[in-house]
Amino acid sequence: MAEAVFHPPRRKRRVFESYESPFPVDVGGKDFRICRAEIINNNVIVTNPEDIEQLYNKGYFGKGILSRSRPVYSISDPLLVTKWQGANLNMPIIASKKYQCHVQWAKSILQEQGFDDCSVTKILENYTQPLELPFLEEDGAEQTSNSCNRMGPNTESTELPRQSSTDTGNVVALSPENQNERCKKARLEGDPAFDPVAVRGSKEQEQGDLKEIAEVSCQKHGFLVHCGCKAEESTEQRSCEMIKSKECAPEYVLVQEEEEGSLCPEEDSAHAQENLVKKEKLVCRRNPFQIFEYLQLSLEEAFFLVYALGCLSIYYDEEPLTILKLWEVFSEVKPNFKTTYMAYHYFRSKGWVPKVGLKYGTDLLLYQKGPPFYHASYSVIAELVDDNFEGSLRRPLSWKSLSGLNRTTVNASKELMLCYLIRPSDMTEKEMSTPECMKRIKVQELIVTRWVSSRERSEQDEF
């Protein structure tokens, strides 16, 4: 058996972030934070935005359920954001077609809950009607009437028009009189935060709207659900939260819609048809189907945060689970969990960042510092064996399958590593039922490389 030749990890050409910390714990203990996760459908999910930021930024634990790695999903269309950047709105902008998809999804959910088509249509029409457009600064605070001059809508307060002919880069401004009237109207009919819901009518209508929202829209579930949850917060509190919120699934969105207009209305109908242009406008509406991005932890990552670092608490049915219970539950969900976790714990302790290696047909991928900085160096297959390297292997490899797996790994500029977890022959199953068994486990690593005869002869000729 030849001695392994170690190659330095390949650094990525473009790195857009700085390295913060290998683990989400504070060495001094001053800012120690215990994050919270929940087991949902045999998956460990973190929903708190602060916990998500803590776990991913410090150690790169987990991945976003809607993103490739870092949870950065946004409902807003980047092209539309660039197109309307002069509006200076701190609200997501989506196309009308995408918004209609959200409406259809909400309609399907309501129909599944037993609502008839007439009720569903009425609910969605009331929920998605145009609303008063709040004026936001970059930090999410409200603007004064002077700020309305910079916004520059051209029609009523729910729309921001844009003409898609030659002057597509400019937003038409309001006259000072209309701006003052509009700002006064927002203050008189709503709260100081320019509540988009408050301008819809009188107090009786406002109470009716709250009752309707309590029956239809549930903040806990994130979309239109007839769950019976009560609207505990007032309209003013909800509007303030909407203005200050920077979540990836906001309740209010700006929808880009089109309307037809004529550049020369005084001409006859034939020329008017030729000169018809499409005007684009932004309309503030409620999002009937909100999509939230959470952080999904692998079972190995979740157990390492609980057992090794003590910075995560995992709940199931609102009850926290102990370390022994997690060891038992994870072993039932994933039969080879003990083997893969031992390998994960070993490499994490060595400074590597292990991630799931399913993409390359292995158990783990090993990164130096983290995926944003380096490409994966090794693809790891973990096996639990006894002192004589015997045992019931999880995936017995033939020479043919081993050669194919090695070729796949090499083509991805990685190296294949076999990680043997050696347990003593006298270790019982009772000892394996607790994570304390890892104290008696030994690890041996084996790097598999392809032997090329021509390369071997050329190296011998050099000597």
Give catalytic residues, as residue numbers: 367, 375, 414
State how far the Cα of 139 lies from the Cα of 142, in Å rounded to an integer.
Answer: 9
Contact 136, 143 (CB under 8 A): yes
CA torsion sign for 400, 401, 402, 405 is positive
- Give how far the C-alpha of residue 178 lies from the chain's centroid of Cα atoms, to the nearest Å: 41
Closest CA to 389 of 368, 418, 354, 359: 418
Closest CA to 444 of 364, 355, 380, 393: 380
The DSSP call for residue 368 is: E
Closest CA to 254 of 355, 157, 373, 380: 157
The CA-based angle 98-100-103, given to 5 degrees, is: 120
State how far the Cα of 395 lies from the Cα of 198, in Å rounded to an integer.
Answer: 63
Contact 282, 256 (CB under 8 A): yes
Instruction: Write out the H or E segment, with its range, that includes residue 205.
Output: helix 203-216
State how far the Cα of 338 lies from the Cα of 330, in Å rounded to an integer.
Answer: 9
